[in-house]
Amino acid sequence: MTDADVIIVGAGPTGLMSAAELRLAGVRPLVLERKARRRDVPKAGGLGGQILELLRYRGLLERFAAACTEPMPAPRFPFGGVHLDLTQLADPPMHALPLPQQLLERLLEERAGELGVDLRRGHEVVGASQDDTAVTLDVRGPDGPYQVTARYVVGCDGARSRVRELAGIAFPGTVYPEVNRLAQVPLPDEVTVLGNGDLDVPGFGAIRAGFTRTESGLLGVGSSPDSRVVSFYTAEDESTEYDDDVPMTVPELQDSLRRVVGVDLRVGEALRLSRFTFKARQAERYRDGRILLAGDAAHLFPATGIALNAGMLDAVNLAWKLAAEVRGWAPSGLLATYQEERHPAGARTMLHTRAQVALRRGHDAAAEALREVFQELLTDEQPLRRMGAMVAGSDIRYPMPGSHHHPLAGAFAPDLTLHTGQGMTGVAELMHPARPVLLDLADRADLREVAAEWRDRVDVHTAKTDQRPADVLLIRPDAHVAWAAGPDEPADTAAPALREALSTWFGAP
């Protein structure tokens, strides 16, 4: 008898999201967190990308947005020293939610508590062993050492993951020498914010809005004439080793501004201060037997605004598959698809974040020319939309088995407007319980009859939609389309294909 179905090590956003998803799937997670309380050193300043859509599909986005103290920002995002300005698109593929990580973790912890998740703070994992049936962890807790067992363990314990180390999983990559600082600070009265967002500093002159590159580093300024609060970003190469648990200070920001652009700027008490370095690392594999990795334990990306999106999407992809294993209906190879799907997704994220390194770290005339050409390309809709989707992670399409694929197979399910006998709804609402869904859009009784054999695992819904992309959609709990029947696809081909897809993803009927 195990102490839990799944032990999650780490109570950051990835770990808490994993725990909530596992509880929705009907299994017992235990979360072990080394720190005795939530960290108060600022880290990420918000959520962005595809995870916002996933939260909406879980019915959580409105709740999280209501907790924000700032309005939803316009869709403009830094990309390697240039900007992705998505405001010119009517339906931008990337949005952000200004939700500081401390607040995000509190909301996720509240959600986990509502679902009955057991969370233990101040419990540090110091050893691990596994066999064919379970994993045993050696834990150092407030009352002394003890052991705890589970069917599976998920390491969500960050860049210095103890779980990854104990599993013997290599974490190759590159460490970049740059130190990055972010701050939101009120300006002194003597500094004027000009109409174009530039800052006029007495005795110094203008500090340009956007990015300014000097021999000493990079400065980013975000300001508006109707606000005295300005965002500063600096990047400079340093050899200093900083402790992530030691918070950044206003004097540290002022020293960095002085080194990068030579300005002595007196600012008020900061609303936000954070410091971070960049690493490009990806675990060689995300699984060792019954031990799995997610979030920063699995990958570190050398760009801002990326890690939370990738890590929480790992959690959603993995949780329902672990739950299927625990509950006994997982088909052969289901858990292996976590590695097959999320490792390439991590590699694609690494691709564009390393491209950002190349864009921002070049200092010669050729690098300036590259940035200028790249920025010019982003004035056209197609490359702008493509880059926005890449950064958001919304272009990820998982490989689906079989030879016949509908264009939606593997993609995130579109939020179609649905007309049902009970009124109007959407695909997002159907995904709130995090269960598989068969959505019949063409009254295909033949295909509903096939799915009826999986009624204990798959929810079947019949509806109409104005622009039907398929007759039937089979949607996984992570909201990706597992299979789709094309319009008027004959039963003699659609029914066997649906049966194969149901068996592949949701086990024997």
Kind of pairing between the strands at 229-237 and 173-186: antiparallel
Check residue 403 and give its pLDDT: 62
Q: How confident is the model at residue 260 (pLDDT cuts 50, 70, 90)?
A: very high
Token pair recorded at residue 507: 């086990």
pLDDT tens-digit map of 383-441: 999 999 999 999 999 999 876 679 999 999 999 999 998 889 999 999 999 999 999 99
Decide: helix, strand or coil at residue 259: helix
- The C-alpha atoms of residue 282 and residue 307 are separated, in whole angstroms, by 12
Instruction: Give, in order, the Cα–Cα distances in Å from 368 to each of 25, 142, 180, 362, 371.
Output: 51, 54, 20, 7, 5
User: Is residue 245 predicted with pLDDT exceeding 80?
Assistant: no
Q: Contact, 36 vs 121, CB < 8 A? A: yes
User: Is residue 42 predicted with pLDDT exceeding 70?
Assistant: no
If one compares 27 and 422, the residue with the highest pLDDT of the two is 27
pLDDT tens-digit map of 127-152: 999 999 999 999 999 999 999 999 99
Q: How confident is the model at residue 307 (pLDDT cuts 50, 70, 90)?
A: very high
- The C-alpha atoms of residue 466 and residue 449 are separated, in whole angstroms, by 24
Cα three-residue angle 3-121-247, rounded to 5 degrees: 150
* Residues present in the chain in total: 509
Looking at residues 48-63, what average pLDDT do you find?
A: 96
Looking at residues 206-210, what average pLDDT do you find?
A: 88
Check residue 41 and give its pLDDT: 61
% of the chain exceeding 70 in pLDDT: 98
Q: What is the pTM of this model?
A: 0.90
Where is 292: in which H helix or E strand?
A: strand 291-293
Q: What domains are there in the chain, each with its CATH number? A: 4-171+283-392 (3.50.50.60), 176-279 (3.30.70.2450), 417-506 (3.40.30.120)
DSSP state of 127: E
If one compares 183 and 505, the residue with the highest pLDDT of the two is 505
- The C-alpha atoms of residue 437 and residue 354 are separated, in whole angstroms, by 37
Q: Is 459 exposed, middle or buried (0-12, 13-18, 19+ CB in 10 A)?
A: middle
Check residue 226 and give its pLDDT: 67
Check residue 362 and give its pLDDT: 82
Q: How confident is the model at residue 256 (pLDDT cuts 50, 70, 90)?
A: very high
Q: Contact, 501 vs 437, CB < 8 A? A: no
- The C-alpha atoms of residue 321 and residue 317 are separated, in whole angstroms, by 7
Residues facing 494 on adjacent strands: none
Sign of torsion, CA 165 163 105 62? Answer: positive
Q: Contact, 378 vs 92, CB < 8 A? A: no
Q: DSSP letters along 162-225, please? A: HHHHHHT----EEEEEEEEEEEEEEPPTT-EE-TTS-EEETTTEEE-SEEEEETTEEEEEE--T
